Amino acid sequence: MLSIEILPSARLDFDESFDWYAKRSEQAAVRFAAEIESALAKIVDAPERFGLLDDEHRSCILKRFPFRIVYRIIDGRLLIVAIAHAKRKPGYWENR
C-alpha cells in the first residue's frame, strides 16, 4: 500500500474549498470531504488506473463536485499536488 503525502498547497486547496462549502451548507462541506476521502482511497487502491495529465501527473475526477485530485507517484508514495477546481485557472498547480 502506498503512503500519501499531501503538499501544503494541496491542503490549502482543500481547506479553502471546504470552507466555501461550509459557509453555504454544512452538509455540502461534509459531503465534499467524504468525496475527497473516497477518491483518495480509490487512488491508493489503484493509482495507475487514472489518466495522465502530462509525463508525471495523474488525476482522479470527483463525481459529485467539480474538482480533480492531481497527484504523482514518487518513490513508492503518492504525492497529492492539488485538489483543483475544474473551473479554476487550468494548470495553476503545475509548478508545485
Q: Please give the pLDDT value at position 96.
A: 83
The pTM of the whole model exceeds 0.85? yes
CB 74 within 8 Å of CB 24: no
CB 58 within 8 Å of CB 69: no
Q: Does the pLDDT at position 1 exceed 80?
A: no
Q: What is the pLDDT of residues 15-53, one digit of tens each?
A: 999 999 999 999 999 999 999 999 999 999 999 999 999
Q: Please give the pLDDT value at position 2.
A: 84
Taken in order of first residue, the domains within the chain and their CATH numbers are: 3-85 (3.30.2310.20)
E strands, the chain, in order = 3-6, 58-61, 67-74, 77-85
